[in-house]
Chains A and B, each alone.
Chain A
Amino acid sequence: MSGDSSQSPPDLPGRRPLIAFAWLWVGVPLAYGLYELVRKATQLFTG
């Protein structure tokens, strides 16, 4: 589509803290889920 990101102005550096916050917001719970998953998955080899 022509209205895509290639048409958007470059990202402003001022947005970086917001980008970091947004990724942490979703990344931290996901990391917790993955940690629990790995703990459980190792039971295949140890259980």
Chain B
Amino acid sequence: MSPPVAPPGWSRWLVPPAALSVHLSIGQAYAWSVFKPPLESALGLSGTQSALPFQLGIVMLGLSAAFGGTLVERKGPRWAMTVALVCFSSGFLLSALGAAAEQYWLIVLGYGFVGGIGLGIGYISPVSTLIKWFPDRPGMATGIAIMGFGGGALIASPWSARMLESFGNDSSGIALAFLVHGLSYAVFMLLGVLLVRVPRTPKGADGAPAPLDGVQVSARSAVRTPQFWLLWVVLCMNVTAGIGILEKAAPMITDFFADTSTPVSVTAAAGFVALLSAANMAGRIGWSSTSDLIGRKNIYRVYLGVGALMYALIALFGDSSKPLFVLCALVILSFYGGGFATVPAYLKDLFGTYQVGAIHGRLLTAWSTAGVLGPLIVNWIADRQEEAGRHGSSLYGLSFVIMIGLLVVGFVANELVRPVHARHHVSAPAQREAADVRRQQPESA
């Protein structure tokens, strides 16, 4: 399958919904928890066991994005979206079989392994294409797609819960729910496969594709530059800080105000978690679009610098004012989402569009690392503080100090980012050679 080139008159505004159809689908991963209690009761699983498909899925997301990025870049977005559709949908269908036969390993293999490949390839599939279609607003374009990943859980969570209510929480009900999910997501993602197009490449005087303007760096060279690893640190620190709140949001707000005259109920804590999801999503599109106006380095100064300030405010005054606590947490979560959504445009600024999707895929290993680091820090410290007889907001004080430290490290890393040295740039003949290899396959629109 060759990259689908846009016919004359094709609108670039068809590309964001194509990207959204994929990201809104794969974002379902964050709603896996809906299936946990029914699986535990139907198949006699522990909480740790029922989390396995999700955990394997996230590991596979990181691995497939890191190792499949170059292939996605070469084969194009339609190929990548097709792979994502087939893997993500098949993952559900295998899980349906597993639930019907009460073979849990099949659910882990299906949803976690096969579906996880769909997550990784789907996540990076539209990034490079969107940046090429919207060179004037790359932050906004990738922000729309990556916002979809956050939005996917908002859709799937109530939808899956209602489906389980209707079909039943036993193994056959779960199997039917998995089946409907697999088929529905296949149809939904099909729009992306059918609509996605890459922009037409202008031809040079000799009829060959003209080389790309500006700095262009290959994925292989990019990982050898300090800029890549500085951005890796920036993303890892920003995500760790966000997860620090996200991971324990409900118990955190309850603990913070447990000893006050206005304690927070379980229902209100659930509302707080929902509000954080909204801030996460709004940050993805809002801050990423803002980065088109004020620049990528400046927006990360805000994420990391103001983020540290917000953590300091919570640590110092959070337990004395509920609105202040909620406001600071919302700002931190909006920066968390913004950090994810802005990074493809930052990569484009530094490395060009040549293989930006593949470079983005490799950078997502920072996310996987932060996904382990953030919950580990907050949970481990809270458990130790509890063992030491502490309670309320003092359970989290040390975690917040660590988060401030991590954000400062990220801030310094961002300050050290400089333009990539010319020795890493891809020459025009090398670009032409790569284009010739692609041209050997027939184009289809």
Contacts and interface: CB of A to CB of B under 8 A. Distances in A.
A40 to B, nearest CB: 4
Interface stretch (B105-113, B164-172, B193-201, B403-411): B193-201
Contacts of A36: 154, 157-158
Q: Which secondary structure dominates where chain B touches chain A?
A: helix
Secondary structure of the A contact surface, majority rule: helix
A33 B150 CA distance: 10
A22 B266 CA distance: 39
B419 interface: no
A6 B200 CA distance: 10
Given A11-B11, A40-B274, A29 B155 contact: yes
A34 B281 CA distance: 10
Nearest to A29: B155
Contacts of A19: 11, 13-14, 17
B154 A37 contact: yes
A2 B188 CA distance: 32
A2 B132 CA distance: 9
Contact of B272 (A8, A11, A44): A44
Interface stretch (B40-48, B208-216, B338-346, B372-380): B208-216
Interface stretch (B2-10, B87-95, B386-394): B2-10
Residue among B9, B195, B267 facing the most chain A CB atoms (10 A cut-off): B9
Given A3-B202, A33-B154, A44-B271, A26 B212 contact: no
Interface string A1-27: 111111111111011001100110110
A39 B136 CA distance: 36
A35 to B, nearest CB: 9
A4 B275 contact: no
Contacts of A32: 155, 158-159
A30 B274 contact: no
Contacts of A34: 151, 154, 278
Contacts of B270: 40, 43, 47
Nearest to B155: A33
A43 B271 CA distance: 5
Contact of A22 (B10, B17, B154, B326): B17
B318 to A, nearest CB: 16
A11 B210 CA distance: 23
A33 B212 contact: no
Contact of B13 (A11, A25, A44): A11
Contacts of A11: 9-13
B245 to A, nearest CB: 15
B176 to A, nearest CB: 20
Contact of B275 (A18, A23, A25, A44): A44
Closest 10 CB pairs of A and B: A47-B267, A44-B271, A43-B271, A33-B154, A12-B9, A33-B155, A47-B268, A22-B17, A40-B274, A3-B201
Interface of A: 1-12, 14-15, 18-19, 22-23, 25-26, 29-30, 32-34, 36-38, 40-47
Interface of B: 6, 8-14, 17-18, 20-21, 24, 132-136, 148, 151, 154-155, 157-159, 188, 191, 195, 199-202, 209-214, 265-272, 274-275, 277-278, 326, 352-353
22 contacts: A1-B135, A1-B212, A2-B201, A2-B211, A2-B213, A3-B209, A5-B136, A8-B200, A9-B8, A9-B9, A11-B13, A12-B9, A15-B11, A25-B17, A25-B188, A26-B20, A30-B154, A32-B159, A37-B277, A40-B271, A41-B275, A44-B275
